[in-house]
Homo-oligomer: A and B are copies of this chain.
């Protein structure tokens, strides 16, 4: 196996990189340089049939991920397939299968089979679930089993795996010394921490990092270095535990890249508005500009039910500051497993954040669709507006289900529609 990173270093423009360059409207040679330097990853899992390759990182369009998957309380593959369909329709660039309930192998294979975009996973979930299914505690999970699961995910065509390699004895100690309001809020982080404490041993994903890189290399599996110690509330943001973990992830980024393995870095979490830019700059600086994959960030803790909005605020600002990849947050975050409608709303909120950042950064062509929309508005052309919109559904739900008397305008302003008034005056002026 020659990974995309290795090919790029050798000066080769692979067909997958070429396809990404075309999709991004970027010069392939420029993209190759960015991949070679580790600032962009090309998701092109060879085992994923029908996968459309995707570039993530500096200078590319901001991407959006949708987390789907079962939980112990909710296992229904049909629902998960519908979530997948919904996420894709709403514009998700990648999907993560975070299933922790049901037949995990079957669910993952089914989702990948039906998914044209890169799929990510968190293998420690499956390893932990298989241990508990056998009546064992998570602490009894064998590192062997964990690495076997990672290998299996690569074999199945997973594109990127979240691995919480920075949850180490040192970083957890630092976290505990500082004390936190909300401790560890990452599922993977908490599970690994339990394992480490009970076994009084180092995190196997850290201790056997070379082995992890070997597996990743075999499948050109991107290591998405997880932030197991991310802050779970505003009060814990950007604390010493979080930053210690990020420093370790920076070291691990270099090691993986030296081994020819592509890397992304996962980021917070709950972060107040005024700390978002600093978090992004810190990540870029400590990891040599590796792609930054942020969860939200959520700019307040008090809005359960509306965290797709708190996440869109933080995500827009993070992406504008340099984050590359936004993990969506749904309205059900902090309350329940997301349903199908939550998936739709979560993806759209994150797409808005991503697009707003692309406009602000002057990404080539980003504001073209906005211009088309605005021109359609100026022409009172409602069909064209519907075409230009991020989603046509609201036109059906709002306008078409309860139409205005005058089909030129809408029920908000009626005959006082500013655009109609201005248009009429302009026409009259031209006639005079």
Contact = CB atoms under 8 A, between A and B. Distances in A.
Interface of A: 71-74, 100-101, 125, 128-129, 132, 138, 181-187, 189-191, 193-194, 197, 232-236, 272-274, 299-306, 308-310, 312-313, 316-317, 320, 331-338, 348-349, 352-353, 355-357, 359-361, 367, 369-371, 373-375, 377-378, 385, 388-391, 393-395, 397-399, 402, 404-405, 410-419, 421-423, 425-426, 429
A72 B398 CA distance: 17
B197 A385 contact: no
A398 B337 CA distance: 9
Contact of A301 (B370, B394, B422): B370
Nearest to A276: B360
Given A375-B181, A402-B336, A415-B72, A394 B352 contact: no
Given A304-B395, A394-B331, A187 B413 contact: yes
Contact of A316 (B197, B313, B399, B417): B313
Contact of A304 (B128, B132, B308, B394): B394
Given A301-B374, A359-B272, A389-B303, A422 B234 contact: no
Chain copies in the assembled complex = 2
B425 A393 contact: no
A367 B235 contact: yes
Given A301-B377, A306-B391, A337-B410, 12 more contacts: A72-B416, A232-B374, A232-B418, A234-B374, A235-B371, A274-B361, A302-B355, A302-B388, A303-B389, A309-B349, A313-B353, A316-B317
Given A235-B374, A421-B190, A352 B412 contact: no
Given A185-B419, A301-B373, A419-B183, A360 B398 contact: no
Contacts of A361: 274
Given A404-B73, A405-B72, A416-B100, A373 B273 contact: no
A370 B302 contact: yes
A418 to B, nearest CB: 4
